[in-house]
Amino acid sequence: MADIKTYNMFIDGEWVNASNGQSFACENPSNGEVWCHVPEATEKDVDRAVQAAHRAFKKGPWASMLPTQRGQCLRKLAESLAENSEKLGRIESIDTGKMLKETRWQAKYIAEFFQFYAGCADKIAGDVLPIDKPDMFVFTNREPLGVVAAVVPWNSQLFLVAVKIGPALAAGNTVVLKASEHASAAMLEFGELIEKAGFPPGVVNIVTGHGDPCGKALTSHKKVARVSFTGGPGAARQILHNSAENFAEVSLELGGKSPFIVFEDANIESAVNGSIAGIFGATGQSCVAGSRLYLQEDIADEFLDRMVGLAKDIVIGDPLADATQMGPLCTQGQMDCVEREVARALDEGGTLLCGGQRPKGLGGNYYEPTIIECPSQKMHIVDTEMFGPVLSVLRFKTEQEVIELANDTVYGLAAGIFTQDSARSMRVARAIEAGIVWVNTYRVVSPIAEFGGNKG
């Protein structure tokens, strides 16, 4: 077994252990072995981080920096991310089980997000208002809020950090970032790049720990002005409760059960490939996973024949290996959830088309790509976010029917539409209750395009 690494938190420009000396272990999901320890932050540690961020906002060099200087810090961070994408990708892959080829690419690509936000720093402008009062001049000025608490999950850490702290820093805010207790190492490695990029002490702080006490103390802290959270509905409810203590502004992104709609005129090959990537990419552990597949009846059989064949050929294995196409689930708890939900779906009348079990000969949290045809929209699996490589398939007849089926969910993050009819694509995209709608593609992001949902 390799040496077990011990990490520290990044608070006020220093690398520190938890105030009580406590830590917790992180396991490599591909083999179940402990590979590192990270601090278990206390309320005292969180307070120290928030106070540091507040001082940096009010009194430190950051408070008096010109917007162009803030942009320069963000550009240096972007350059460092691109240079260190291999290291960051490898750490995230070991910690989460995501494929190295994906984590490495993401680490390099999010550098473009920070470059984009660097360019925004000196373009935040107010307005001059022609009011109805003579001899008076009125203008508005956009000002930073203060301390931003950014709470990120483990599954797309670097991307979500970029879209949370990039705009916050460009606008002149300071940040306390809470990493997921399931996989914290990549965030702490990211802290080293923050330090090297020249951000003054306290501008970005990184704490590690569980929701209680770490997350609770952070999101209810009196000096936190804004909370940005990505995660599950249960934790989100607690955060909304916590924010009553500080009246912080709150933004939530709570996952999805995204519909992937294929009409009879679609390019079948393109749609099959899009669906495969949309559900089995990242082992299905994506908030935008296309986990509800709706097929128009005339093409359903052909589509499923092709898709099942491709799913069975997916290479499962070590996420660090170039040949691997799908890695393990991040935690044993997630594995248990997937097995439980698949069993329930089959008990409710679902038809197993492929997968439905752990692959033979592999340790760790591996599960086969699974496709289940569902006779009813009311099945539990159709409206439950799985966070695993499990696809629910339903058939439809008409455009209006599939719109109603797609919107029959508490979630509204993303959707996909495959059709060669441009008028239909626009009609359906407008009718679908989702913040992001992809047409003839799936799971594509850009720093220039907004990312977020419109419900749940």
Q: Contact at 8 Å (CB) between 411 and 255? A: yes
Q: Contact at 8 Å (CB) between 11 and 209? A: no
State both tokens at 128. Answer: 């001059």
Catalytic residue check, 112: no
As a whole number of angstroms, the distance between CA 180 and CA 285 comes to 14
**Looking at 26, 36, 73, 287, which residue is catalytic?**
287
As a whole number of angstroms, the distance between CA 6 and CA 245 comes to 34
Give the closest residue to 156 by CA, choosing from 260, 287, 32.
287
Q: What residue has token string 């995660």?
A: 231
As a whole number of angstroms, the distance between CA 140 and CA 380 comes to 50
Amino acid (one-letter) located at 206: I
**Looking at 27, 40, 92, 253, which residue is catalytic?**
253
Q: 222 φ, ψ to 5°? A: -65, -25
The CB density around residue 321, as the number of other CB atoms within 10 Å, is: 14
H or E stretch covering 332:
helix 332-347
State both tokens at 387. Answer: 């966070």
CA dihedral 94, 207, 216, 383 (to 10 degrees): -30
Q: What share of the chain is helix, strand, coil (3-state, %, to 5)?
A: 40, 20, 40
Catalytic residue check, 253: yes
What one-character DSSP code corresponds to residue 297?
Answer: H
CA dihedral 94, 97, 103, 107 (to 10 degrees): -60
Burial (CB < 10 A; 0-12, 13-18, 19+), residue 397, is: exposed
Question: Which residues are annotated as catalytic?
Answer: 253, 287
